[in-house]
Copies of this chain bind each other. A is one copy, B any other.
Amino acid sequence: MSTREDIEQGTEFTPKFDDNGLITAIAQDAETGQILMVAYMNRQALDLTIQTGYATYFSRARQKLWKKGEESGHFQKVEQILVDCDQDCLILKVTVDAGQCHVGYQSCFYRALNMTTDKRLEFIAKKVYNPKEIYKT
């Protein structure tokens, strides 16, 4: 059993998976710093990511492993994996080619809250590809 000090100050990687066996993973563009998406990994997805050097997640909706880009072709090459103090969250610094969001944007975070209204969103990005041309379903 790792102590809190081991976890926070140590050099052993002991990722903490939640009750569903998942850990949060943030994909961040290694070059620009833009946050592209947030997804989840189980142990196997994390191992595959480390072994292959390409991001594999666990899809909660589909309940299966999901190599990012397997449908769209937009893979994420993992340059670095960072872990936070309590080791329950990861950042994947990734190199990507084109749009990373299935809606058609470079990042899933393409809307900002209008802080004066507290419930209206404003689009802050333009689509970089047409998802209908990529996702054939």
Q: How far is the CB of A37 from chain B (nearest CB, A)?
A: 7
Query: Which residue of chain B is the closest to A38 with respect to CB atoms?
Result: B89
The secondary structure that dominates the A interface is mixed
Q: How far is the CB of A22 from chain B (nearest CB, A)?
A: 12
B13 touches A121 (CB 8 A): yes
Contacts A38-B24, A81-B115 known; A120 to B32 CB distance under 8 Å?
no
List 24 A-B pairs, Cβ < 8 Å: A11-B111, A11-B122, A12-B119, A12-B120, A13-B118, A13-B120, A24-B38, A26-B35, A33-B34, A37-B84, A38-B89, A50-B115, A50-B118, A80-B112, A80-B113, A81-B112, A82-B109, A82-B124, A83-B111, A84-B108, A84-B109, A85-B101, A85-B102, A91-B109
Given A81-B112, A81-B115, A86-B108, output 6 extra A-B contacts at Cβ < 8 Å.
A11-B123, A53-B115, A80-B115, A81-B113, A83-B112, A85-B105
